[in-house]
Amino acid sequence: MNFDLNEDQALLKASVERFVADRYGGDIERRRGYLRQASGFSPDNWRILAELGVLALPFAEHDGGLGGGPVELMTVAEVLGDGLVVEPWLTGSVLAGSLIADAGSPGQKAAWLPAVIDGRARIALAQAEHDGRYALDFAATSVRNGRLTGRKTFALGAPGADALIVTARDDDGVGLYLVRTDAGGIDVRPYRLADGSLAGEVALREAAAEPLPGGMAALAAATLRTILAACGELVGLAGLLHRTTVEYARTRRQFGVPIGSFQSLQHRMVDDYAALEQARSMSYRAALLPTAQQVAGAKAFVSEAATRIAHSAVQIHGGMGMTDELLVGHALKRVMLLARLFGDASTQLRAFAKAA
């Protein structure tokens, strides 16, 4: 297969790379500052991403977006992963935001999409429950007469969001519902995840909600798209980890020589490089053929490859690799989160076998 980017894709990648260089530049203190903000990221960076069209990328042109396909999403996600960007593009735009486009009514689209695309509003998905593990269609949360009651956990980006898309069960099954966070009957308790990003525990007590007509079919499609983009971010993170580790091995000296001259470390870094290139190939192959089977297979492989590369980076850096003083520790934590998003490697392999 030809994995070369066309001219438009290359220009898109270059613009996001400039954003990463200007706003992050490998500066861990700057990244910490973004995470410490009340929203868990930089509102200024979010505005810049909107101006660059990155927030509009997942949306079709007739919805006011740029109509980016799987390859464009993968390309942007890889650059953002390589830059350790904290802005919630993956969960805010690719997942929850695009669910409005896929599942919303014409009125809901008109009310929300322009604000989501230009960065004035954020939407988050509240689907997971404590007893549901990775099942998308598990919902103890119930809806009666347009009112939601129940609890959700691991709602990524929910703190500070303007609305939540909630899965809930009625007499006909599980559906999607839109809930404004400024309405009564909803409480979002924020907490930090391992990578420093914000998630929320959501309590719903007779909260007013609007049904999203697209339902669970739209959620399945949005989840597939998000998993694919997560593979791209994992590849970017793995590339950052490997590049940083190779450079460290060239400069760190022990017994009077660089540790990169030790044959055992050379073998490990070569193996990690091979795993990185295989992960990138698997991701772009899935982007060119984004079926449920291909995406599940890519997620299983890329998650394990990125985790292995992250562990190697920590081990070669020694004790400092586990601290927040180096990019390595931050990247490892992000890899840990993404590797389990919507299913760990074992879950994805079962989905691959089921789809085969």
Beta bridge partners of 150: 204
Predicted local distance difference test score (pLDDT) of residue 319:
80
Predicted local distance difference test score (pLDDT) of residue 4:
82
Q: What is the pLDDT of residues 264-319, one digit of tens each?
A: 999 999 999 999 999 999 999 999 999 999 999 999 999 999 999 999 999 999 88
Average pLDDT of the residues in 103-116: 97
> pLDDT category, 2, cuts 50, 70, 90?
low
- Residue 213 pLDDT > 90: yes
Please report the domains of the chain, with CATH numbers, ordered by start residue.
Answer: 7-117 (1.10.540.10), 123-214 (2.40.110.10), 218-355 (1.20.140.10)
Q: What is the pLDDT of residues 9-54, one digit of tens each?
A: 999 999 999 999 999 999 999 999 999 999 999 999 999 999 999 9
Predicted local distance difference test score (pLDDT) of residue 324:
85
- Residue 1 pLDDT > 70: no
Q: What is the pLDDT of residues 129-188, one digit of tens each?
A: 999 999 999 999 999 999 999 999 999 999 999 999 999 999 999 999 999 999 899 999
Average pLDDT of the residues in 86-95: 97
pTM higher than 0.75 for the full model? Answer: yes
- Residue 323 pLDDT > 90: no
